[in-house]
Amino acid sequence: MRLQGKRAIVTGGGSGFGEGIATRFAAEGAQVIIADINMDNARKVAGETGAHALHADVADPASVTNLVAEANDLMGGIDILVNNAGITHLPALMEDVSEADFDRVFAVNCKSVYLMARALVPQLKAQGSGAILNVASTAGVSPRPKLNWYNASKGWMNTATKAMAVELAPSGIRVNALNPVAGETPLLASFMGEDTPEMRAKFLATIPLGRFSTPRDLANAALFLCSDEADMITGTCLEVDGGRCI
């Protein structure tokens, strides 16, 4: 029960890494809001964990404001925010990615972090505590070809994490990030372009431990960084990558 008494929002909590994190947080005693644009997924996970499901488009300012207000109403406050929601574009030469795809990637992967901070940070400052965890990617540390603008969005997220950590530390708010390698999530096929044994073997060949990351891997790391056990850790971008970035 390492999060007993804590209240958490997990964006993109209806599937993939977010589902793993939300499920583990609930099992460790936290009240959890599963915020997702896909309410079928969110309700399914909420039903399995005892969490609350709320609709949220993290790229939309009004939706984010409403999410924070509803979360406060349901839980009586917020202690932890996990910015997990994210998308990618299909593998392509950088000049061939459409402007619409570029804008959507940066809206969901980057602008959402700003919008959530704008909506929640004043509250965390007022209470003098809080933990924010951004789910970035090894793509932001060691970019893969043909995922250029996704790579850049996750590099932005790592820099934003460190900038947030420095600014918010005097207010008692910790900010960290996770950099997972490609995982068994709904985004895997998008990263690879096509989900075939050959493409999986190509990706796995870049991971020294020889497997994809799993929601459980990310949940374990997220639990530590958002718990009081990590109360001296801020500004860390932790690679959960089986050694890919070595």
- Cβ proximity of 214 and 188 under 8 Å: no
Q: Which of 25, 150, 191, 212 is catalytic?
A: 150
- Cβ proximity of 40 and 55 under 8 Å: no
Q: Cα 157 to the chain's mean position, in Å?
A: 10
| 1 vs 141: CA distance, rounded Å | 33
Which segment of 3-12, 50-59, 163-172, 196-205 scores lowest on mean pLDDT?
Answer: 196-205
Amino acid at 1: M
150 is an active site residue: yes
| 209 vs 19: CA distance, rounded Å | 23
Tens of pLDDT along 142-192? 998 999 999 999 999 999 999 999 999 999 999 999 999 987 776 677 667
What DSSP character marks residue 36?
Answer: E
Structure token digits, residue 9 = 């929002």
**Domain over 7-185+214-237 is classified CATH 3.40.50.720:** yes
| 11 vs 98: CA distance, rounded Å | 26
- Going from the C-alpha of 4 to that of each of 37, 72, 125, 211, 222, the distances in angstroms are 27, 17, 21, 32, 15
Tens of pLDDT along 17-36? 999 999 999 999 999 999 99
What is residue 200's predicted lDDT score, i.e. its pLDDT?
83
Going from N- to C-terminal start, the domains of the chain cover: 7-185+214-237
Position 132 pLDDT exceeds 90 = yes
What is residue 93's predicted lDDT score, i.e. its pLDDT?
96
| 85 vs 74: CA distance, rounded Å | 21
Structure token digits, residue 126 = 């007022």
